[in-house]
Structure 1
Amino acid sequence: MFHSLLKSAFLVAAFATFQPVFGQTKVQQPPNTYSLEDCIRIALETNPQVKISELQVQTDGNLAAQSRWQRWPSLGFSAGQGFSSGRNIDPYTNVYVQQNVNSNNFQLGSSVVLFNGFQLRNSVIRNDINARVSQKDLEAARNDIMLNVALSYLQIISNEELIEVARRQVDASVLQVERTQKLVEAGTLAESNLLDLKAQLANDELTLVNNQNNLETSKLNLKQLMNMPGSEPINVVKVPVSDPTLQAYEATIQEIFDIAVGNLPQMKAANLRIESARKAVEIARGAGMPSLSLGAGISTAFSSAAPKQRFISDGTGSTTIDVPSTTSYVTYGGVTLPIIQRVTTPNGSIQDFGYFNQLDGNRNSYLNFSLRIPIFSNFQVKYNVANAKVQQKGIEYQAQQVQLTIRKNVEQAYIDMTNSAKRYSATANQVRALTEAFRVAQVRFDVGAINSTEYNIAKANLDRANGNLVQSKYDYVFRTKILDFYMNKPLSDF
C-alpha cells in the first residue's frame, strides 16, 4: 500500500526543486549523506533524458533565431576560373576567336523577399512558439526525474521509520522472553509459554529484516536515479514529518484544478502546440498568395584574349595622318601597292591594359524585382491547408486529453487525501485502543491470568497497528502535499 501511495505523490517535483535556501550557510553533512536537494541536483545533472531535452531546447532556439534572420537580405559572392582552346567566344568582346582563352568572373549579389503571403512572419512566430514548447517539455521532463527521486528519497525515510518501529517491537519481545525465561526456570510458568514468546520474537526479527531489506531496495532505487554505482554507500538527511492535524483542505477540487491547469508545464506546452498548429495553417495558406522579391548585384570578368594595350584619348583634339591600308591594294606595272588612307584619330597615347584595368572596365550592376503569382499548382496548396487544419484539430484533442488527465489526477488526489485522513484517524484510534489492550494483556500474562498465545495475539495486533499508523501518516501527508503541488505552493513544511 505504501509503495502505491508513493507513486502518486506528485509533491516531490516542487518540494525537491524549489526548496534550495540561497544565501544561507550549508550544514556540513557526514560522508555519503545527501539531502533531498543534493539527490535531485545530481539526478538532473546526470540524467540522459534531461540532457536530450536540453539539446532539443537549444535546437529549437537556433531554429527560431535563424528564422528571424530569414527576413533580412542575403549576400553572396562567387568567383570562377575557366580555360578553353580552339574556336571560342571571347568573354571580353563576345566574338569568336581561334586561340586559347583564360577567363575569370566575379559576382557579388544580394536578394530579399519583400512579400510571400506572410510565410516568413508566420514562420518566425511558429518557431518562437516551438522553442517555448520545448522549454516546457524540458520542465516536464525535469519534474518527472524530480518526482522519481523524491519518491525514492521519501520511501527511504518511511522505511527507516518502519525499521525503528520493528526494532522497538524486537526489543520488547526480547525483554519479555528474558522475563519469561526466569519465570520458567522458577517453575512459575510452563515452558510452552517461553517457546511461544521465542516464536513471536523470531517473527519480530523477521519483520525487522524485511524492513531493512526494503530500505536497501529503496536506497538502490535512489542511487540508480542518481546514476551512482549500486555498491556505493548512501544515506539521506531525514525530512521531519509532523503528525497530521486532519484539518480540512483550504481549496475545493475546482479551485485546485484551475490553478493546476494554469501552472503545470505539460498544460502550457499543449496550449502552445495549438498556437503553433494555427500558424502552420497560415503558412500553408500563404503558399497560394503572390510573392515579390528584390535582387541586386555587381559583376565583372577578365579574358586573356583581350588586348594588353589600349589607346587612351587625352581630350585635346585630333590628328589627321596617312596610313597604308591593310585590306585595299592597287597593281600598276606589275607592282602591288597599298592604298594610302587618310585617318583622323584623337590625340592621346597607348597605355597598358592590365588585369585589374580589365576588371574595372568590365564592371556591371543590376537591380530587379521578381513577382510570382501561383495560378494552378495541382491543388497542392489546397490540400496542404486541409492537412494542416487536420493536424491542428488533432493537437487540440491532445490538449483536451492533457486537461482531462490533470482533472482526473486532481480529483483522485483530493479523494485519496480525504480517505487518507479517515484512515489515519481510524488507525490512530486503533493504536490507542490496542496499546491499552496490550498493557492489560501484559499485566495479566505476568500474573498468569492468560497464556502466551493470547499475549502474542495482543502484541501482534499492536505491532501491526503501529506499522499501519506510520504508513497512514505518510499517506495522508503525502497526498496533502500532492494538492499543494497542484496549487503551485512551496512545500517546505511537513
Structure 2
Amino acid sequence: MKKVYKNYFKKSFVVGILAALLSISAFSQESVKLDSTVLQQADLKQLIDYALKNQPLLKQNKLDEEITESTIKSKLADWYPQLNFNYSLQHNFIVQTSIIGGNPVKLGVENTSGANFALSQVLFNRDVLLAKRSQGDVRQQILQQTESNKINIVANVSKAYYNVLANIQQIDVTNEAINRLQKSLDNAKAQYEEGVADKTDYKRTSIQLNNAKAQKKSFENMQLANIELLKQLMGYPEEQPLTVAFEKDALIKEANLDTTATADYKNRIEFKSLETQRSLLKANVDYNRWSYLPTVSLNGNYNLNYLNNQFKDLYSNNFPNSFANLNVALPIFQGFKRKYNTKNAELQLKRTDWDLIALKQSVNAQYSQALETYKSNLANYNALVENVDLAKEVYDLIQLQYKSGIKTYIEVVTAEADLRTAEINSINALYQVLSSKVDVEKALGNIKTN
C-alpha cells in the first residue's frame, strides 16, 4: 500500500512540474512574441501603429472590453430559464415527537433523502430589464474609453517623436559647428605659428570648440532620455534599439495647418462619452421608477422524497410531489426610499446636461488657445528661418573679411556663435510648430486612430 501511495505522489509531482514548465514556456513564448518587433528608421506612422498595438494601457482596455462583454452576458443570462438541482440525505437520531389527541406520536422516520428539481422563469425584473436596455450603451462606453486613450497616445507619441527629431538636428548642427571651429582653429594656429596673429585667436577658437563639444554631449544625453520616453509611450521594449527617420522638407510641409477651421465640440470623444453617460443615467432613472412595479416570475418544482427507518431500504420507496406557481412581489412602503432614489437619479441626469455645456465652452477655449499658440510658433519659426539665412551670410562675409585682414577674429567667433544659435533656434521653433499643431488637431477632434 505504501508503495502504491509513493508511486502515486511521485507521478503527481512529475505531472505538476511538467504543467508548471509548460505554463512558463507558454508565457515566455507570448513575451517573445510581443517583443519580437524591432523598429529601424521608423517614421511617425510606424511608431503610432506600433503604439496602438502594443501600448500596455490599450492592452488593459482590450481586457476591459472583454470583461464588460462577459459582465453583460452574465446579467442577460437571468432572462433564461433557471434550472437547479438539490440533493439531501439525513439521518434522525431522535425522531420528532408531537402530541396528537393527547397521545405522543412520532412524526417521520429515521432516514430521509430527497432530490429537488426547481425551474424558474423571470417575467419581469428591473435588474434584468436594465441590463437588456443598457447593454449597447455599456459596450459603447468602454469602447469610447479605449478611443480616448488611443487619441492621447497618438498625440503623446507624435510630440515625443518631434522632440527626438529636434535633438537629432541639434546634434547635426553642432557637428557642423564643430567642423567649422576645427578648421578655424587650425587656421588660427597656423597664423600664430607664422607670426601673422597672436595666440588669443586660436585660444578663443579652442574655447568655442570646447563649448560646442560640450553642447553636443548635452544634446546626446538628452537624446537618450527622449528615446526612452518615446519607447515608454509606445510600449516598446526598453532593451530593444529604436531608430527613427524623417525628411525635413516633408516635416516643413506637414507643419502647415488650416487656421480657418472652427471647433465643433460634437467631434470630440469627450462629448460622445458624455452622451453615452447621459444615456446610462437616463436608464438609471427608468430603473428607479421601475421599483414601483412588481417582480414577477414563474416557478416549478419536482421533488423526490425517500423515507424509511431502515437505511438499506431507504431508496426502495419514493413519495414524490410537484407544483408550479406564479410569484408576484411588490414592496408597498420602504420609508420613501424609492422616491429619493428616483430623485437622485433625475438630478444626476440633469447634472450631466451642465457637463455638456461646460464641455462646449471648454472645447472653444482649448481650440482658441491651441490655435493662437500655433500661429505664434509659426510666425516665430518663419522669422528664425530668415535669421538663419542672414546669420550664414554674415558669417561667410566676416570669415572672408578676416582672411583679408579687414575684420578681427573676435568678430568671426561672434558670427559663428550667432549662426549656430540661429540654426538651433529655428530647429526648436519648427518642432514647436509641429507639437502645437498636434494640440490644435486634438482640440478639433481630428486625430485619427486607425
TM-score, normalised to structure 1, is: 0.72
Cα distance between partner residues in 2 of 1:97 and 1:30? 83
Cα distance, 1:198 vs structure 2 = 2.0
Deviation digits for residues 275-314 of structure 1 (CA, Å, limit 9, x no counterpart): 11111111111112223222122212111159x9xxxxxx
1:109 paired with 2:118, answer yes
Say which structure is richer in strand. 1
Contact 1:74 1:110 in 2 (8 A): yes
165-174 or 476-485, which deviates more: 476-485
Q: 1:454 to 1:292 in 2, by over 3 A?
A: same
Q: 1:169 to 1:86 in 2, by over 3 A?
A: closer
Give the corresponding residue for 1:216. Answer: 224
SS of 2:79's equivalent in the other structure is: coil
Where in structure 2 are the equivalents of 1:87-486 lying within 5 Å?
A: 87-88=95-96, 96-97=105-106, 101-116=110-125, 118-225=126-233, 232=239, 234-242=241-249, 244=252, 249-250=257-258, 252-254=260-262, 257-258=263-264, 261-305=265-309, 355=315, 358-359=317-318, 362-484=319-441, 486=444
Cα distance between partner residues in 2 of 1:99 and 1:109? 24
Q: 1:89 to 1:141 in 2, by over 3 A?
A: farther
Deviation digits for residues 157-208 of structure 1 (CA, Å, limit 9, x no counterpart): 2211110011001101111111122222222223222222222222222221
Opposite residue 182 of structure 1, the aligned amino acid is A
SS of 1:69's equivalent in the other structure is: helix
SS of 1:244's equivalent in the other structure is: helix
143-152 or 415-424, which deviates more: 143-152
Q: 1:300 to 1:235 in 2, by over 3 A?
A: closer
SS of 2:384's equivalent in the other structure is: helix
Deviation digits for residues 306-334 of structure 1 (CA, Å, limit 9, x no counterpart): 9x9xxxxxxxxxxxxxxxxxxxxxxxxxx
Give the corresponding residue for 2:446. Answer: 488
Contact 2:205 2:413 in 1 (8 A): yes
Bigger Cα Rg: 1
Cα distance, 1:141 vs structure 2 = 2.8
Cα distance, 1:448 vs structure 2 = 2.0
Opposite residue 344 of structure 2, the aligned amino acid is N
Where in structure 2 are the equivalents of 1:45-124 lying within 5 Å?
A: 48-88=56-96, 96-97=105-106, 101-116=110-125, 118-124=126-132
Q: 1:98 to 1:69 in 2, by over 3 A?
A: closer
Cα distance between partner residues in 2 of 1:30 and 1:82? 68
51-60 or 129-138, which deviates more: 51-60
Q: 1:475 to 1:176 in 2, by over 3 A?
A: same
Contact 1:33 1:234 in 2 (8 A): no
Opposite residue 235 of structure 1, the aligned amino acid is L
SS of 1:235's equivalent in the other structure is: coil
SS of 2:122's equivalent in the other structure is: strand
Q: 1:246 to 1:64 in 2, by over 3 A?
A: closer
Cα distance between partner residues in 2 of 1:46 and 1:488? 23
421-430 or 126-135, which deviates more: 126-135
Contact 2:308 2:314 in 1 (8 A): no
Cα distance, 1:146 vs structure 2 = 4.4
Cα distance between partner residues in 1 of 2:131 and 2:107? 54
RMSD: 3.4
Contact 1:86 1:98 in 2 (8 A): no
Deviation digits for residues 447-467 of structure 1 (CA, Å, limit 9, x no counterpart): 222212222222211111111
Cα distance, 1:446 vs structure 2 = 1.4
Q: 1:473 to 1:156 in 2, by over 3 A?
A: same
Unaligned ranges ≥5, structure 2: 1-36, 99-103
Opposite residue 454 of structure 1, the aligned amino acid is E
Cα distance between partner residues in 2 of 1:442 and 1:355? 114
Cα distance between partner residues in 2 of 1:216 and 1:100? 84
Deviation digits for residues 246-296 of structure 1 (CA, Å, limit 9, x no counterpart): 997336342xx22xx445444322221111111111111111222322212
Say which structure is richer in helix. 2
Cα distance between partner residues in 1 of 2:314 and 2:388? 108
Cα distance between partner residues in 2 of 1:229 and 1:274? 40
Opposite residue 304 of structure 2, the aligned amino acid is T
Q: State the identity as a percent.
A: 19
Q: 1:124 to 1:58 in 2, by over 3 A?
A: same
122-131 or 70-79, which deviates more: 122-131
Contact 1:424 1:469 in 2 (8 A): yes
Contact 2:162 2:434 in 1 (8 A): no
Cα distance, 1:445 vs structure 2 = 1.4
Cα distance between partner residues in 1 of 2:234 and 2:446? 26
Aligned length in residues: 406
SS of 1:77's equivalent in the other structure is: strand
Opposite residue 292 of structure 1, the aligned amino acid is V
Cα distance between partner residues in 1 of 2:205 and 2:141? 64
SS of 1:70's equivalent in the other structure is: helix
Cα distance between partner residues in 1 of 2:256 and 2:53? 39
159-168 or 52-61, which deviates more: 52-61
Contact 2:255 2:434 in 1 (8 A): no
Contact 2:297 2:328 in 1 (8 A): yes
Cα distance between partner residues in 1 of 2:94 and 2:212? 106
Contact 1:67 1:127 in 2 (8 A): no
